Amino acid sequence: MPSEHRSGSSGGAVTGRLGINAHLLSGEAGYRRAGIHQYIAQVLRHLPWEEGEPTYVVFTQQKQLFADLPGITAVSSRLPTDKRLLRILWEQIVWPWQLWQNRVDLLHSMAFVTPLFSRCPAVITVYDLSFYHFPERFPALQRLYLSSQTRRSCQRARRIITISESSRQDVHRFLGVPLEWIDVVVPGVDAVYRPLPPDEVAAFRQRQGLERFVLHVGTLQPRKNIPVLIDAFARQDDPELKLVLVGGKGWLYDEIFRQVQALGLADRVIFTGYVPDDDLPLWYNAAELLVFPSVYEGFGLPVVEAMACGTPVIASNSSSIPEAVGEAGLLFAPNDVETLASQMTAVLTDTTLKNKLRQQGLEHAQTFSWARAGLETAVVYQRALQKK
C-alpha cells in the first residue's frame, strides 16, 4: 500500500509507542479469516503515520502483512497462537514481557481481553457481546473466559472501541462502562468490492455451474439464523433457483444440514465452505441478492460488501444490522419467515425494485472507508495517551 494512503494528522501532538495485539489474524483458509480478521488487518494497514507521531509495534504471526508499512514494527511469537489455549497463554504471560521489552506506552488488544498483570495503560476493541446475549451457544469454558475477562479488561481500559453504536450500547449496558469511554470505529469496504464486467461474472457463473442464486455469506453458527433463510428459500416457486451458503463451519451447525435434507433441498442448497478473499467479489456480483438473517452482529460487513458490488440486500432488523443497511436495503424481523419469503420473491421478480436497491446500495457503500477507520483508531490512541 502506498505510504501516502497512511499519512495525515491523527489529531494531536502526543507521541508514544503503541503495542497492538493482532494474534487473531489468520494465515490459513477458514472461518477465522472472516470478519474480525478483516477488520484487524484493514485498520492496522490504514493507521496514519508521519514523522514525530506514535509508532506501532504489532504483535502477530502474520508479519508479512505489515512489511511495507512505515511506522510499524511487527513482532512474532514462537507459540502457535492459532490454537486458542496457546493464544491465551501468550496473551496473559508472554505479551506483558514483550510489552516491557519493546518499551510500549499504550497497549491495544484488538480482541476483547488485556493481560491480567500488565500495568501498561490499555485500549480494547470489543466487536460484539454475543457471549452475553447467547451464553448457551458457547462452550462453558470459552464463555466464562470471555465474559469475565472482557468485563475486567473494559473496566480497566482507558478507551474502548466498538464497531457499531449497537455494540457501544451493549458494552455500556452489560459491562457498566460509561458511554463517554467508548468510541465507535465503523468498518470500511475494500476497493475490490465493486461491480465487475458482465462477461467476467457470466464466466464465473459458468465455472460454478450456477445461473440464478440467493447468497448468504457468514460462518455456519447459530446466531447467523440460517434455518430461517432456508425456510424462506423453500417457499420460492422457481425450481432452478439455488441458495448458496458461503462460509466455513463454525459450531452447532448440524441443524442446518438436517433442515436441508428434511425439506428436500439437497440439490438446491450449495455449501461452498470457506471462500478465498479474492473470490468473494465474484460471488457477490453473481448473486441475485444477498440475504443476511442474523439475530445478532457487531456490524455485519457482508451487507456493505454486497452493496458495494451492486447486489440487492435483505437483512434482519436486529442489533447493529440496520446501521450497516441504512436506507439501502430491505429489513425483516429475524424470525419472520413469511415476510422474508415475500421480500425475496419481490426482489427476484420485480426488476424496478431490484434496480432501485442496487443503486441505493452502491451509493450507501461509498460512505464506508477503511482509511477513516484507521484515522479514527489513531485518534482513540491520542485520547488514551493524553490521559497520562
92, 112 contact by CB (below 8 A): no
The amino acid at residue 387 is K
Please state the rounded mean pLDDT for residues 70-91.
91
Work out the number of other CB atoms within 10 angstroms of the CB of residue 200: 12
Please state the rounded mean pLDDT for residues 3-27.
66
Give the model's pLDDT for residue 29: 47
Give the model's pLDDT for residue 30: 46
- Report the helix count and the strand count for the chain, using DSSP H and E: 15, 13
User: Which alpha helices (DSSP H) does the chain contain, by range?
Assistant: 35-45, 84-89, 95-101, 130-133, 140-156, 165-175, 198-208, 226-234, 254-262, 280-286, 301-308, 321-325, 337-349, 351-365, 370-385
Give the model's pLDDT for residue 222: 83
Residue 60 has pLDDT above 80, yes or no: yes
In the structure grid, which three cell numbers stand for residue 56, read together?
506501532
State how far the Cα of 160 lies from the Cα of 175, in Å rounded to an integer: 12
Q: How confident is the model at residue 94 (pLDDT cuts 50, 70, 90)?
A: very high
The sheet carrying 182-184 orders its strands as 72-75, 55-59, 17-21, 106-109, 122-126, 159-162, 182-184
What domains sit in the chain, N to C, each tagged with a CATH number?
3-188+369-383 (3.40.50.2000), 198-365 (3.40.50.2000)
Give the model's pLDDT for residue 73: 92
Give the model's pLDDT for residue 47: 94
306, 218 contact by CB (below 8 A): no
Please state the rounded mean pLDDT for residues 113-138.
92
State how far the Cα of 144 lies from the Cα of 138, in Å rounded to an integer: 9
Which stretch of 11-20, 75-84, 230-239, 359-368 has the lowest confidence by average pLDDT?
11-20
State how far the Cα of 348 lies from the Cα of 215, in Å rounded to an integer: 12
Give the model's pLDDT for residue 28: 58
Average pLDDT in the chain: 91
pTM of the predicted model as reported, rounded to 2 decimal places:
0.89
Residue 388 has pLDDT above 70, yes or no: no
- Regarding predicted confidence, which is higher, 11 or 247? 247
Please state the rounded mean pLDDT for residues 55-64.
93
Segment 42-54, tens digit of pLDDT: 999 999 988 777 8
365, 325 contact by CB (below 8 A): no
Q: Output the furthest CA–CA distance in the chain (Å, rounded).
A: 64
Give the model's pLDDT for residue 6: 41
